[in-house]
A and B are shown apart, each in its own frame.
With several copies, the nearest count.
Chain A
Amino acid sequence: MSNDVMAEIQRDYLFNLVLKGERADGRAFDEFREMSIETNVIGAAEGSALVKLGDTQVLVGIKTQPGEPFPDTPDVGVIITNAELIPMASPEFEAGPPREGAIEIARVVDRGIRESKSIDLKKLCITEGEKVWIIFIDIHVLNNGGNIIDAASAGSIAALLTATLPAARYDLGEDSQIPMRDIPIAVTAIEFGGELLLDPSLDEEQIAGTSLTVITNTDGSISGMQKSGAEPLTVDQVIRVVDMAKTAAAEIRKKFLEV
């Protein structure tokens, strides 16, 4: 009961702020929280990145190993993306196999990487039909402070950019980098009181009816989109989010030149 009351009060508070064009942490509607990316944090992984986005902390580890290609695509490598919303990260998360929330995050991140063709999958082929590189992207959410998906997406790309293919370990020639061609960036907005807010904090996320994630590439093209949540969006809102996402993604992408 009292939880409901608190939620109601919180909602009203944030709603009134939004009406005044403000957010609880003082950000502009199209402003991201500070994002820090630290790569190569896990030596045991072939690539890794710890992303902090406000209070959100996501650790992404890349493991690569030779394996069999899928029968219908014998000449390209395999990407397997997995997200774990471990109970450490939030009182709401429970142990057990990934549920729809974790599966959605993994699949949206996966498609963003795959569909942008940011990895040259053909170059991951070792012997056609027999052996290709399998790339496991494991997303480990340590602390949920809202907008896990953008942090997970950024972490995955950062980890991929610094990951190696350990060919020598398997007598497959010299080690090399994963062949990357683009830097797709996910940017998520929530709709609340008719307004669109980028990079929602946990509080904002919990009161918003719906969110839209847009993944854009270096050339400004869109390579992924996912609406999530139980409220509708208008066509105009969608178009505005796409515009905001492109601008914000360009800003975030700069960080990767530093990585």
Chain B
Amino acid sequence: MNDKPEHFIIDGKRLDGRNLDELRPIKIEMSPLDRADGSCYLEWGNNKIMAAVYGPRELHPRHRQNMTRSVVQYRYNMASFSVDERIRPGPSRRSVEISKVSREAFEPVVFTKFFPRTAIDVFIEVLQADAGTRTAGINAASLALADAGIPMRGLVSACAVGKVDGRIVLDLMKEEDNYGEADMPVAMIAGGRITLLQMDGRLTTEEFYEALKLAKTGCDKVYELQRQALLEKYGGEHPVDAEDVSLEGDTDEQ
């Protein structure tokens, strides 16, 4: 653990030189995995995230099947070597909660009614963790779902906003997350509807409004990067083509 820095913002710049409303660098690699139906590798600052999607596929045990729709399952997992202090393998209370809210971030967008009795499985492996692994995971999952050809109402884009040195900033890095005053991960469907919202720390109502607005800006930026990644991979082909329209439509809405 590093010691707490005295200041997080100096002359309007953050410890890593970013502006307050600037994302860390994001790198996307589509379809890195061969076995999964869809996959995406995403680097976000020092986060290294692998996402894989299997499905729609048969769901076992049978009593977990839903007769009218597909069941979305989401497993967020941190590799034991992904952080300074080794993590014991297996689910933790933290990873169970993150898996739940992340799953719920996708349930509104996946056309689950098309695939009754099946499962759509999303697996997130955090290979290296900086701050913001759950939002990075959601962004990767979004692309892996598209890569698997799962029909969706739109991409889900996510980022965290927070408060450090009394200022609302976009996309907390590790030191800001550890010592900051608030952290608020948000996921949105392109267009701005919120599918994940959590908040820790302490914010006034005004700060919260500002944070929510900044989260929208962040998610829009992420969405643009996701869109580009899909365009690069699929070009004019159908998976993006079809989606693209509906996504743009969503964006125009607001």
- Residues of chain A touching chain B, judged by Cβ–Cβ distance below 8 Å, are 41-45, 48, 55, 57, 59, 61-63, 65, 72, 82, 84, 86-91, 95, 97-100, 103-104, 106-107, 111, 115-117, 136, 138, 140, 142-145, 210, 212, 217, 220-235, 238-239, 242-243, 246
Contact = CB atoms under 8 A, between A and B. Distances in A.
Indicate the size class of the contact surface on chain B.
Answer: 35 or more
B123 interface: yes
Instruction: Give 10 nearest A-B pairs by CB, closest first.
Output: A61-B81, A225-B199, A230-B107, A232-B193, A45-B81, A63-B86, A88-B123, A227-B197, A88-B52, A55-B34
A111 B121 CA distance: 29
B104 A88 contact: no
Contact of A242 (B127, B193, B205): B205
- Interface SS of chain B: mixed
B80 A138 contact: yes
Given A227-B194, A228-B104, A233-B193, A142 B125 contact: yes
A53 B121 CA distance: 26
Given A136-B86, A144-B35, A145-B34, A91 B57 contact: yes
Contacts of B199: 222, 224-226
B79 interface: yes
A220 B36 CA distance: 38
Contacts of B34: 55, 143, 145
Contacts of B201: 115, 223
Given A63-B81, A65-B86, A104 B100 contact: yes
B40 to A, nearest CB: 12
Contacts of B96: 99-100, 103
Given A48-B81, A115-B202, A90 B35 contact: yes
